[in-house]
């Protein structure tokens, strides 16, 4: 049985549009796939995290405190996904990767949010994948792959179909950590992938048939980050 870690952005899970439809269909899909695959889902904070982080920053909170608010938002979103999994997953999001690994012995699907300040749920997903020796990590985002620049801002951004771990790290490097949205994948996540060499598949998480194909290890539309360039 393949082990798959899925990092689902909050902006994919609850963008504020067709949230109920998407969550119930995603719940059905993961439930169905959990009979053939060991699944771990790490859920991001999306709009809720951004709202609290921006407001808190303007009020003078420090970056660690803002990160902690972000983590709480990720756990709130994790509970929504848990609600859609009709008892197949743990009831409460674990607070550490170690706890998630342990829950994996008792539940078909494990759902968690963030852990500690200083990274995003992408970093958590990469560390969890290392701990459970995952076959692949799927980054279910609001864009359909990794682009040369932000496709929401630049019309001439081009999708990269295949990328090496080092290439990803190069794209993710930022000078300093700040609470709030990151770009492609966070630096901790990219560094962990360089070390573990677990393939990362980046795709649009709202396209459920495509997400299902990636979970099954079949051909999908998006970017593959692996040891090999195309
Ligand atoms: P997200 O994982 O949703 O980050 O966590 P993001 O960058 O907004 O979304 P993606 O990864 O690009 O999809 C929301 C915020 O919560 C804090 C960070 O401030 C992050 O920006 N956080 C989250 C942590 O400090 N630690 C964690 O383990 C997770």
What percent of the chain is predicted at pLDDT more than 70?
A: 95
CA neighbor of 113 nearest in space, from 144, 146, 68, 145: 68
Q: What pLDDT, in 10s, does the model give residues 106-146? A: 999 999 999 999 999 999 999 999 999 999 999 999 999 99
Q: Angle CA(52)–CA(57)–CA(61) in degrees, nearest 5?
A: 100
Side-chain half-sphere exposure of 2, counting CA atoms within 13 A: 16
Distance (angstroms) between ligand 1 centre and the Cα of 152 equals: 19
Whole-number pLDDT of residue 150: 80
Are 138 and 5 in contact by the 8 Å Cβ rule? The answer is yes
Say if strands 109-112 and 37-43 run parallel, antiparallel, or are unpaired. Answer: parallel
Using CA atoms in the order 92, 188, 208, 71, what is the torsion angle rounded to 10 degrees? 30
Q: What pLDDT, in 10s, does the model give residues 6-32? A: 999 999 999 999 999 999 999 999 999
Pocket of ligand 1 contains residue 43 by CB under 6 Å: no
Residue whose structure tokens are 């689902």:
8
Are 41 and 75 in contact by the 8 Å Cβ rule? The answer is no
Confidence class for position 182, pLDDT limits 50, 70, 90: low
Give the separation between CA 51 and CA 155, rounded to whole angstroms. 27
Confidence class for position 185, pLDDT limits 50, 70, 90: confident
Q: Quick one: average pLDDT of 147-161?
A: 86
- Sequence-distant (6+) residues with CB within 8 A of 79 are 92, 93
For the entire predicted model, the pTM comes to 0.95
Residue 151 DSSP SS3: coil
Residue 229 has pLDDT above 80, yes or no: no
Pocket of ligand 1 contains residue 70 by CB under 6 Å: yes
Pocket of ligand 1 contains residue 74 by CB under 6 Å: yes
CA neighbor of 66 nearest in space, from 173, 142, 177: 177
CATH fold of 2-226 reads Carbamate kinase (3.40.1160)
Give the separation between CA 224 and CA 137, rounded to whole angstroms. 10
Q: Quick one: average pLDDT of 184-213?
A: 95
CA neighbor of 197 nearest in space, from 140, 131, 136, 139: 136
Confidence class for position 227, pLDDT limits 50, 70, 90: confident
Q: Residue 164's CB: how many other CB atoms inside 10 A? A: 16
Pocket of ligand 1 contains residue 49 by CB under 6 Å: yes
Confidence class for position 55, pLDDT limits 50, 70, 90: very high
Whole-number pLDDT of residue 230: 60
Confidence class for position 86, pLDDT limits 50, 70, 90: confident
């Amino acid at each position: 049985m393949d082990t798959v870690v899925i990092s689902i952005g909050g902006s994919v899970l609850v963008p504020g549009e067709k949230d109920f439809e998407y969550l119930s269909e995603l719940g059905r899909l993961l439930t169905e796939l959990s009979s053939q695959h060991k699944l771990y889902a790490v859920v991001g904070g999306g709009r809720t995290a951004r709202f609290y982080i921006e407001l808190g920053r303007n009020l003078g909170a420090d970056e660690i405190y803002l990160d902690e608010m972000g983590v709480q938002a990720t756990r709130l979103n994790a509970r929504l996904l848990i609600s859609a999994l009709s008892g197949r997953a743990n009831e409460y999001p674990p607070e550490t990767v170690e706890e998630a690994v342990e829950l994996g012995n008792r539940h078909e699907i494990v759902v968690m949010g963030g852990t500690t300040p200083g990274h995003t749920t992408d970093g958590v997903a990469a560390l969890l994948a290392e701990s459970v020796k995952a076959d692949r990590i799927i980054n279910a985002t609001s864009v359909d792959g990794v682009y040369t620049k932000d496709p929401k801002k630049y019309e001439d951004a081009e999708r990269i179909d295949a990328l090496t771990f080092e290439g990803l790290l190069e794209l993710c490097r930022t000078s300093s950590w700040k609470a709030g949205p990151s770009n492609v994948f966070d630096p901790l996540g990219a560094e962990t992938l360089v070390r573990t060499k677990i393939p990362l598949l980046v795709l649009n998480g709202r396209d459920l048939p495509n997400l299902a194909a990636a979970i099954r290890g079949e051909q999908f539309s998006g970017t593959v980050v692996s040891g090999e360039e195309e």
